[in-house]
Amino acid sequence: MPHQKRRKDVRNVAIIAHVDHGKTTLVDALLKETGTYEFKDGEDTIMDSNPIERERGITIFSKNASILYKDVTINIVDTPGHADFGSEVERIIKMVDGVLLVVDAFDGPMPQTKFVLRKSLELHLKPILVINKVDRTNARPDEVASMTFDLFCELNATDEQLDFPIIYASARDKWAVNNLDEPRKDMKALLETILHRVLPPVADPEMPFQMLVTMLDYDNYVGRIAIGRIFHGKISMGETVALIKRDGKIDKGKITKILKYTGLKRVPASSASAGDIVSIAGLDNVRVSDTITHPDHPNPLPLIKIDEPTISMNFCHNTSPLSGKDGGRFLTSRHIRERLEHEAMMNIGIRVEEVDGGERFKVSGRGELHLSILIETMRREGYELEVSQPKVIFKEIDGEKYEPVEEVVIEVDKEYQGEIMRSLGARRAEIKDIKITSVGTIRIESIVASRALIGFRTEMLMMTRGTGIMCQVFSQYQKYKGEMPGRTVGVLVSQSQGEAVAYALWGLQDRGEIFIKPGDGIYEGMLIGVNNKGSDLVINPMREKKLTNMRASGSDDAMQLIPPREMTLEFALEFIDEDELVEVTPKNIRLRKRHLTENQRKIMFNKNKQN
């Protein structure tokens, strides 16, 4: 085998970590250390530029940054920590030669860490372990290091991968050290470790040009932008290239723009060569996993394997009587079709199919969070839509029905253990391990069908008075586990259209939780609360108090209304039943029956009974 040429002045690294273990803060610290980004007063977590990411404190879209240290360009790619964004992770680790595994010095490795780490080890990448937040009062860095070593063994890491360097850091305080007794003043220990332990990229500038497209972006001026790593050769502005599609077809195009990263900014460049991570424009029909090559030597690079979707939902334009009254700008099926087609092009984890002659769209993704982020994004862009209950996607293997199952880790206080175990038992969970953590909480690891987890997070938070922590990650497809318990409560359904009245809501709040407040717009078929008795109840939320000339002592005092539930997209998607929909507008999230009138619902009920 000929000796592989490596480019010594570049290092390509991905950062992987569980949600909230501090990887975005770590990138901020590295940008500050090398003076690559000028921070304004009070500015932080600049890698999480999307407003939804900032609100939720999670990374959803992978992003690139580039820093210069000792004349070496270090390209850092931030990856999502959540398994629902696995299609993002798959692509990112194809671009890099090493990974920084960031682990919280108290929590230790969590399920999402395991998911991304497994993908990295399969691609033979060498990790650097960064134990972050060692300044926490209850930090246990040595214990976490041995837990991480056990995880590597469990994931069949090679001897070379097991010999990983360990860096102790506090990204918030901007220091990193090789040993805890060293002075804590800067991030140099981490930067030096990246230089010495991450291999320079294999890159031969003399070979014909080859680049794998791992991400897409869009610009109103230059059109579609392909982002990826150049594996071989060089490219210059104005050059003609060949585009090899996933199915083997070859198109030709001309490079109109080349962009490189400096800090977080993309800056124009006249050329780029093997080893660089770049963005190039000029190819209108480029897709993720295509190869851009020299037109005289069209050799494709290996395709990116993309995980199958596990959950699907139906999207439809808003058909409620309040449609168009909440500031929505995009109200028709055509608008929704165009937006979903654009999403499917940019986000390869999403699939879109037409249902009912194009009136509705079946959207499949990697999980509830994956699809709820898409709905939230569309809502903020001014779309109004209705979405159905999330459904898992079953598979048939050798004539048998299989369903997706997830690995679930729940951490709760001791007094809630019994209730959680009972609830998991009802969902046919397979308990793998129960242990007491060093702070006295109970950590339960189990395998549960994805179907059974829809709605479980809300129930778990209610059981534990909001103190429980739950993490889940897709594991595999297993044999169908039979019927699962559904929603145990009924709903209160409005029988009229208008505005909710305080007196009517006051009379209903004993029946269960209320979703609306006095003065809110309502319509026939809208769900206004929970009926704890278990059956659906049609009610009149506009009932006024009958007035008399007599004043009764005490009864005319101010009515005490319990504040309604703050309606979130997550709760709405988990709560609804098969015959219900979530109405999403820029200003409101409402729950409704699929068939608004009581008569229609009875007809459909009788039809289903006969079938």
Radius of gyration of the chain (CA): 27
DSSP letter at 414?
G
Match 């506009």 to its residue by tokens.
542
Rounded CA separation 444/432 (Å) = 8
Is position 133 annotated in a ligand binding site? yes
Q: 63-97 burial, b if ≥16 CB within 10 A, otherwise e?
A: bbbbbebeeebbbbbbbbbbbbbbbbbbbbbbbbb
How many Cβ atoms sit within 10 Å of the Cβ of residue 50? 16
What are the phi and psi torsion angles at 51 (to 5°)? -60, -35
3-state SS of 306-367 is CCCCCEEEEEEECCCCCCCCCCCCECCHHHHHHHHHHHHHHCCCCEEEEEHHHCEEEEEECC
Is position 132 annotated in a ligand binding site? yes
Is position 20 annotated in a ligand binding site? yes
Is position 10 annotated in a ligand binding site? no
Rounded CA separation 339/383 (Å) = 9
Is position 260 annotated in a ligand binding site? no
What are the phi and psi torsion angles at 111 (to 5°)? -55, -40
* Residue 335, amino acid: H
| 75, 51 Cβ separation under 8 angstroms | no
| 92, 229 Cβ separation under 8 angstroms | no
Q: What are the angstrom distances between the C-alpha of 423 and each of 325, 455, 456, 505?
A: 41, 12, 9, 31
Is position 314 annotated in a ligand binding site? no
* Residue 537, amino acid: L
Residue 573, SS3 per DSSP: helix
Is position 24 annotated in a ligand binding site? yes
What residues form the annotated binding site? Answer: 20-25, 132-135
What residues form the annotated binding site for GTP? Answer: 20-25, 132-135
